[in-house]
């Protein structure tokens, strides 16, 4: 089994897990925010934890969805100049750009680990969780992005158009 096939297998499973976590995070946000609105406007009260839980769900949802956008090619890109290049050069630029972006994601991955460790002892106010919980999806998402970008740089599936 080649490196490309192993990487594809890993990414397929990571994409499936990310997709389910994104759906779960979005559902949690909707449920918590809706419950908080009902509590405030119907019962004139509120949940102390709703703001933090919805913020955590939002951050997790966003950072776990980013690699799925990379995989599908749905992120914004400026290709005004690159579209004018010959096919071979377009492919080379795409591979180089993906390799540089993968390296940047690895820097983000490592830096997020360092910051998460540095903030581990800080606690959130309403729920007794480490504030590093906000860095976990960044760590996971950055590594997931780096793997997708590395695969796109090393094993392009189709020529850049």
Residue 56 sits in which domain range?
Answer: 3-154
**DSSP bridge partners of 130:** 123
Say if 100 falls within a structural domain. yes
DSSP 8-state secondary structure symbol assigned to residue 95: H
- Whether 67 and 141 have beta carbons less than 8 Å apart is answered as yes
Please give the tally of structural domains in the chain: 1
Which residue(s) pair with 123 in the sheet?
Answer: 130
pTM: 0.87
Tokens of 157: 């599936």
- Residue 93: inside a domain, yes or no? yes
pLDDT at position 111 over 50: yes
pLDDT in tens, 36-85: 999 999 998 888 899 999 999 999 999 999 999 999 988 877 888 888 88
Query: Which 3 state secondary structure label does DSSP give 123?
Result: strand
Residue 50: inside a domain:
yes
Whether 107 is in a domain gets the answer yes
Summarised one tens digit per residue, pLDDT across range 4-45 is 899 999 999 999 999 999 999 999 999 999 999 999 999 988
Question: Residue 38: inside a domain, yes or no?
Answer: yes
Angle at alpha carbon of residue 109, lines to 106 and 114, rounded to 5°: 130
């Amino acid at each position: 089994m080649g490196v490309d096939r192993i990487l594809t297998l890993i990414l397929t499973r990571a994409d499936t897990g990310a997709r389910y976590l994104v759906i779960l995070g979005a559902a949690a946000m909707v449920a918590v925010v809706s419950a908080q609105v009902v509590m405030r406007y119907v019962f004139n009260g509120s949940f102390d934890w709703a703001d933090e839980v919805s913020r955590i769900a939002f951050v997790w949802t966003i950072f776990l969805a980013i690699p799925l956008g990379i995989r599908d090619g749905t992120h914004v890109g400026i290709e005004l100049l690159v579209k004018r290049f010959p096919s071979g050069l377009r492919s080379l630029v795409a591979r180089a750009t993906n390799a540089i972006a993968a390296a940047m994601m690895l820097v983000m991955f490592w830096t997020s680990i360092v910051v998460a460790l540095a903030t581990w002892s800080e606690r959130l106010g309403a729920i007794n969780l480490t504030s590093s919980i906000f860095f976990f999806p960044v760590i996971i998402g950055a590594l997931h992005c780096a793997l997708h970008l590395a695969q796109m740089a090393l094993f392009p599936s189709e020529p850049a158009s």
